Amino acid sequence: MEKKEYKPVRRHAGMPGGPHGARGGGEKAKDLVGIWKKLLGYCRKYLVISVIAILCSAIGTVLMLIGPDKLSELTDTITEGIMPPATSIDMDRVVQIGLTLVVFYVMSYLLSAIQGWIMSTVTQRVSKAMRSDISKKINRLPMWFYNQTTTGDVLSRVTNDVDTIGQSLNHSIGSMVSAIILFVGSLVMMLTTNGWMTLTAAVASLLGFVLMFSIMGKSQKYFTRQQKHLGEINGHIEEIYSGHTVVKAYNGEEEAQKVFDEMNRNLCESGFKAQCLSGLMMPIMGFIGNLGYVAVCVVGGAMALNGKISFGVIVAFMMYVRYFTQPLSQIAQAVQSLQSAGAAGERVFEFLEAEEMEEETEKISALLNVKGDVEFEHVRFGYEDSDATIIHDFSAKAVSGQKVAIVGPTGAGKTTLVNLLMRFHEIQGGEIRIDGTPIHRLTRAAVHSLFCMVLQDTWLFEGTVRENLVYNNERADEEKMKEACRAVGLDHFIRTLPQGYDTVLNDQVNLSQGQKQQLTIARAMIANKPMLILDEATSSVDTRTEQQIQTAMDQLMKDRTSFVIAHRLSTIKNADLILVLKDGDIIESGTHEALLERGGFYAELYNSQFEVAM
């Protein structure tokens, strides 16, 4: 797949005077044809049924075309009856033509209903396929991608952009096809009726197309901008509402409102330009239609005068001209809607084509009988989006079953180390080995399956307590789950909830931060994997509960290589190996006692937490 540079959306934290003004003007009209190719690629799966739909609309259109022909026959028949020297109207013929017309109309109704039915199914399937691809993509993107983009912007791509594509495909593909057929069809019908009159109409409409394409070229960039601004607004709102507490606490409403207003104005402006420019197409096409109409009238009138054509022919021709020029404005309308689909598609594909993590099919997908020897060798790392090196030259070795504690001041790179071990980020130098196998030779999933992980940030999703506990672990049985909850001291609390383990956790159930941590620890216990990572897992749990958890944890850590990050040094006193990290380097290592004896950085750190200084 071709790689394109993904342009993350950067926004500003609600402070006025952000560089918003500088934006705009820079976008080029992207490769529309390419985007449409990809969009249509999604429809390929539904090719057969789409062809049926198109056929339906084609046949329906043909029927529409024959309609006026029959109408003119009807008119002629009646006229013959009225005009002297005729005596009476040929009733049989009138009835016959009338019935044919009715049949035609009913059929064209059915066909267009079928076409609409099929198209609505197809477009929704296509949208769904697109959304699925986005969700797959979310999994394949490297972690640093999420450091650069806002949740809301990705959300906007999933909902608004895909929605726009779906809606406009549904609206316009059908009418586009029928318009084109109508156009070509009426051209043919006109040709068979009268060549000169056809030529007149054709010249007029050619003019229209030229104008339409030039407008399209101009307005496309505004459509792109519109979708982009919509994404930005989405990002802003998402962020503000996730941080509602802080926004409120800091009276940030006004600033946020200012930023919002600015974005809102941008969106309004680009929306206006897009719509206004592309909206020009309709009246222009309408005028071209009228021009053709008049021209045909004049030419037709002149010809009728000479007696070259009948009145019926003129009537039919008037209709044809309508049918001939009406698709022009229909096409104009469809093009307008397709333009916004193009802009939305651009954003969707931009996301889908963002650089992915490397392909892993050839890697080892599972490491069996893991003992749990972990070795860091000269690991060097800096985050992908910055130049600073965080870990310079890190080497350490954990033997199977050991409890390794990583301590150090904030920002020393403790969490980073864990991220590297989990392969959330790729190291830039050196190697990390598990049981002698470098982890870059394993698939990420294989690495993840080796570790239970309890993170600083607790994460619970909307679902029952039970679902949260047995997250992605179907084998966990009820008893084991309850046991884990008892171990972390949560069982009692859960049982006081209205529906116990089946209580749905959402915004309305107020779990304290500590309870959330207990829950995630229980989750890790249930997951039961060969190695364990605890990153500040108990920071918000009170110390009494912590002690209780500690016992359970010790049980859990037995025979498991575990990595523990904690600020409360009491929790890691019994570690087999303590690594003291500062600025990405190990400055001391050893057991608790050895380190205390040494009287270095660790000893200082340890003693400071019992200081009562005031």
Partner 1 sequence: MLSTFFLTMEALADLLQPTFMSMIVDRGIRNASVRQILFYGVCMLFIALAGAGCAVMRNGFASRVSQIVGKELRRDMYHNVQLLSMENIDRLRPASIITRITNDVAQIQEFVNGIMRIMVKAPIICVGAIILILVQTPGQAPVIAGILLVVSVLIFGNMRVGYPRFGKVQERLDRLNGVTREFLSSVRVVKAFNAEDGEMEKFDGVSWELARANTSALRTMAVFSPFISLTVNFGVVLLLWISKSAQSAEIGRLMASVNYMTQVLFAVGMISNTLNTAVRAAASSARISEVLCEKPAQRMPAQPLMPEICGDIRFERVSFSYAGAGKEALHDINVHIHPGETVGIIGSTGSGKTTFVNLVPRFYDATKGKLLIDGCDVTQIDTKCLRTAVAVVPQKALLFSGTIKENLRWGREEADDEELCRAAEVACADEFIIKSAQGYDTLLGQGGVNLSGGQKQRLSLARALVRNPKILILDDGTSALDAQTESDVLKGLGGMGGKMTVLLVSQRISTVMRTDRILCLDRGRVQGYGTHDELMDSCTVYREIYDSQIGGGYHGGA
The interface with partner 1 within residues 452-471 (CB under 8 A) comprises 453, 455-457, 459, 461-462, 471
CB of 547 to partner 1, least distance (A): 6
Contacting partner 1 (CB under 8 A), which of 31, 355, 358, 385? 385
**Scanning the structure block, which residue is given the tokens 């958890």?**
549
Contacting partner 1 (CB under 8 A), which of 51, 124, 495, 574? 124
CB of 206 to partner 1, least distance (A): 17
Taking CB under 8 A as the criterion, which residues in 343-382 touch partner 1?
none
CB of 362 to partner 1, least distance (A): 19
Cβ distance to partner 1 smaller for residue 399 or 486:
486
Cis preceding linkage at 327, omega within 30: no
Please report whether residue 186 would count as binding partner 1 according to CB under 8 A.
no
Contacting partner 1 (CB under 8 A), which of 13, 184, 366, 594? 13
Please report whether residue 67 would count as binding partner 1 according to CB under 8 A.
yes
* Angstrom distances, CA of residue 541 to CA of 254, 496, 530: 35, 19, 25
Stretch binding partner 1 (CB under 8 A), from 210-218, 364-372, 428-436, 602-610? 602-610
DSSP state of 6: -
Amino acid letter, 210: V
Please report whether residue 593 would count as binding partner 1 according to CB under 8 A.
no
Contact status, residue 585 vs residue 570, Cβ threshold 8 Å: no
Quick one: CA dihedral 466, 515, 559, 369, positive or negative?
Answer: positive
Mark 415-454 with x for binding to partner 1 (rule: CB under 8 A) and - for no binding: xx-----x-x-------------------xx--xx-x-x-
Q: How open is the CA angle 519-412-565, to the nearest 5 degrees? A: 30
Mark 319-348 with x for binding to partner 1 (rule: CB under 8 A) and - for no binding: x--x---x----------------------
Cβ distance to partner 1 smaller for residue 4 or 128:
128
Amino acid letter, 322: R
CA distance 351 to 28: 18
Mark 268-307 with x for binding to partner 1 (rule: CB under 8 A) and - for no binding: xx-xx--xx--xx-xxx-xx--xx-xx--xx--xx-xx--
The first and second tokens of residue 564, run together, are 């523990």
Cβ distance to partner 1 smaller for residue 59 or 291:
291
Please report whether residue 541 would count as binding partner 1 according to CB under 8 A.
yes
Please report whether residue 138 would count as binding partner 1 according to CB under 8 A.
yes
Contacting partner 1 (CB under 8 A), which of 362, 388, 436, 475? 388
Mark 95-114 with x for binding to partner 1 (rule: CB under 8 A) and - for no binding: ---x--xx--xx-xx--xx-
Please report whether residue 567 would count as binding partner 1 according to CB under 8 A.
yes
Contacting partner 1 (CB under 8 A), which of 207, 383, 437, 482? 383
Rounding to the nearest 10 degrees, give the CA dihedral for residues 130, 136, 140, 144. Answer: 70
DSSP state of 576: S
Please report whether residue 543 would count as binding partner 1 according to CB under 8 A.
yes
The number of C-alpha atoms within 13 Å of 554 and in the hemisphere containing its C-beta is 11
3-state secondary structure of 17: coil
Taking CB under 8 A as the criterion, which residues in 190-229 touch partner 1?
none
Within 10 angstroms of residue 354's Cβ, the number of other Cβ atoms is 19
Cβ distance to partner 1 smaller for residue 247 or 399:
247
Write the CB contacts of 407 (distance below 8 Å, at least 6 apart in sequence). Answer: 414, 565, 566, 567, 569, 572, 578, 579, 580, 581, 602, 605
Phi, psi of 199, rounded to the nearest 5 degrees: -55, -45
CB of 315 to partner 1, least distance (A): 5
* Long-range pairs of 514-519 with CB within 8 A, sequence gap ≥ 24: 514/540, 514/541, 514/542, 514/545, 515/490, 516/458, 516/460, 516/540, 517/454, 517/458, 517/541, 518/488, 518/489, 518/490, 518/545, 518/549, 519/458, 519/460, 519/465, 519/468, 519/469, 519/488, 519/490
Taking CB under 8 A as the criterion, which residues in 32-51 touch partner 1?
none
Site residue total, partner 1 (CB under 8 A): 191
CB of 36 to partner 1, least distance (A): 21
Taking CB under 8 A as the criterion, which residues in 508-527 touch partner 1?
508-515, 518, 527
